[in-house]
Amino acid sequence: MAARVLQARGAAWVGGLLRRAPPCSLLPVLRRFTSSNSRPREDSWLKSLFVRKVDPRKDAHSNLLAKKETSSLYKLQFHNVKPECLEAYNKICQEVLPKIHEDKHYPCTLVGTWNTWYGEQDQAVHLWRYEGGYPALTEVMNKLRENQAFVEFRKARSNMLLSRKNQLLLEFSFWNEPVPRSGPNIYELRSYQLRPGTMIEWGNYWARAIRFRQDGNEAVGGFFSQIGQLYMVHHLWAYKDLQTREDIRNAAWHKHGWEELVYYTVPLIQEMESRIMIPLKTSPLQ
């Protein structure tokens, strides 16, 4: 009985303290109530209550986060190929896609084209850039409908596919511009499904986080979706091989501030996926 009374008085004292004390004065007191074997970061749930919040905005996040100096739109395509058709699929893509890329008649460029190595198997991934945004995309689509060679290509391709999907993307203002690079490299496409309403928070955190990952020139591009699956973020990285990828990612944890940014971005994510991809021979990103 006495123990219960003391416990109730203790709880009341802490409750009163929480009501009266300013937030910054609570941390030393509450730390004394945590178990001695807890990690130092276990009390970060309380710190997160007082971390700087993103100010309310009155503009679309596409205007706040995208590059202002360019009006480029990106299209990311995922094609799931019948396993027995992957070689033939790659062959016709390498014949047709570079011709569109090189033809000045079309205001678009092929950024990269890959096969997934680890992740969803028998999958092709293509990334296109449309200089001029949505009008350029519309112009290219209209012209391709009149291109008989491309019409035949699509017909042949359709017999090789199990499914396909695409997304229209903008690039984050703070990421590297995806430009052609020599190889050989492997590429990692890390895709994040964010909680709706958290895109600006993600952008604010990663605008600081990206500086930890640029020493080795592995950061290729960062994008967020506009049409297709929404609140999707894609980060594209290049590495010499899988061991180099492991070494670079581990090294980031030894840089002061990286762990804090990871801690605050993880709660923004609903789902995440990693693909390791191998570029086709005609890909500008090798």
Give the model confidence (pLDDT) of 123-155 as tens digits: 999 999 999 999 999 999 999 999 999 999 999
- How far apart, in whole angstroms, are the C-alpha atoms of residue 77 and residue 171? 16
**Residue 3 domain-assigned (yes or no):** no
Does the residue 29 lie in any domain? Answer: no
- Residue 51 phi/psi, 5-degree rounding, is -70, 150
What is the pLDDT, as a whole number, of residue 59? 58
User: Per residue in 148-183, is it b (16+ CB within 10 Å) or e — as a string?
Assistant: eebeebeeebeebeeeeeebbbbbbebbbebeeeee
- pLDDT, tens only, 74-83: 999 999 999 9
Is 239 domain-assigned? yes
- What would the pLDDT profile of 21-76 be if each residue is shown by its tens digit? 444 444 343 334 333 344 444 444 344 334 444 454 555 666 678 766 566 899 99
Q: What are 175's two structure tokens?
A: 């990421």
Q: Which residues pair with 221 in a beta bridge?
A: 236
Does any domain span residue 83?
Answer: yes
Count the domains in the chain: 1
Question: Which residue shows structure tokens 């028998």?
Answer: 122
| Nearest CA among 112, 102, 123 for reference residue 75 | 112
| Mean predicted confidence (pLDDT) in 221-250 | 96
Give the whole-angstrom CA distance, residue 228 versus residue 208: 27
Contact 219, 207 (CB under 8 A): no
CATH number of the CATH domain containing 202: 3.30.70.100
Give the 3-state DSSP-derived string for 218-258, with helices as H, strands as E and coil as C: CEEEEEEEEECCCCEEEEEEEECCHHHHHHHHHHHCCCCCH
- 200-218 residues labelled b (16+ CB within 10 A) or e (exposed): bbbbbbbeebbebbeeeeb
Indicate if the alpha-carbon torsion angle 179, 180, 182, 185 is positive or negative: positive
Query: Rounded CA gap, 253 and 247, in Å?
Result: 10
Q: Within a domain: residue 220? A: yes
pTM of the model: 0.78
Beta strand pairing status for 123-130 and 186-194?
Answer: unpaired
Flag whether 192 is in a domain.
yes
Question: What pLDDT score does 216 carry?
Answer: 80
In a domain, residue 265? The reply is yes
**Any domain includes 160:** yes
Q: Which domain holds residue 199?
A: 72-279
Contact 99, 92 (CB under 8 A): no
First to last CA, the chain: 74
Burial call 219-230: b when 16+ CB within 10 Å, e when fewer: bbbbbbbbeeee
